[in-house]
Amino acid sequence: MKMPAALAALPQPLYFFDGQCVLCSRFVAFCLKRDPEGRLKFASSQSALGLRVLEALGLPHDELDRTILLIENDTVHTRSTAVLQTLRHLKGPARWLHPLILVPKVLRDPAYDIVARNRIRWFGRLDACLVPSPRTRDRFIDL
């Protein structure tokens, strides 16, 4: 989907994630290690910025904990597309998964939804949002 003009000033690429989800936080840590140039920026969906973006995109707040977003090139990617487009920015074998983007969303997103619905049961929930290290703090927006 096209990004609304109200969000044009956001740094890009910007990845929104559930800051209390263990799986989501581990994925962010995975990305941080494999993005040595520091191109990817991150924000928690629960942050004030995350809530503002959801509102600007017209996404319901009850999807906050199940939908990740990647804002890049003035486009908003959601769900499986957001994950696969994020992998494109990483170094090493992880980026080899990006060609899965050729699989139609109608097949990818149901798999994403199964993981999204069960991730807390399978991986757990953090008591508080992910806290970045001093070395990576500048990669996080709206802490």
Residue 71 has pLDDT above 90, yes or no: yes
- pLDDT confidence tier of residue 36, bands split at 50, 70 and 90: confident
pTM for this structure? 0.87
Q: Please give the backbone phi and psi of residue 112, each rounded to the nearest 5 degrees, phi first.
A: -60, -45
Please report the pLDDT score of residue 65 as a whole number.
60
Separation of alpha carbons 61 and 53, rounded Å: 11
Integer angstrom CA distances of residue 54 from 5, 7, 22, 35, 68? 14, 11, 21, 26, 10
Please report the pLDDT score of residue 16 as a whole number.
92
Here the tokens at position 118 are 């069960």
Which whole number is the average pLDDT over 35-56?
89
Separation of alpha carbons 80 and 37, rounded Å: 24
Separation of alpha carbons 143 and 48, rounded Å: 9
Q: What is the pLDDT of residues 99-136, one digit of tens each?
A: 999 999 999 999 999 998 898 899 888 776 666 777 88
Q: What are the structural domain ranges in the chain? A: 11-138
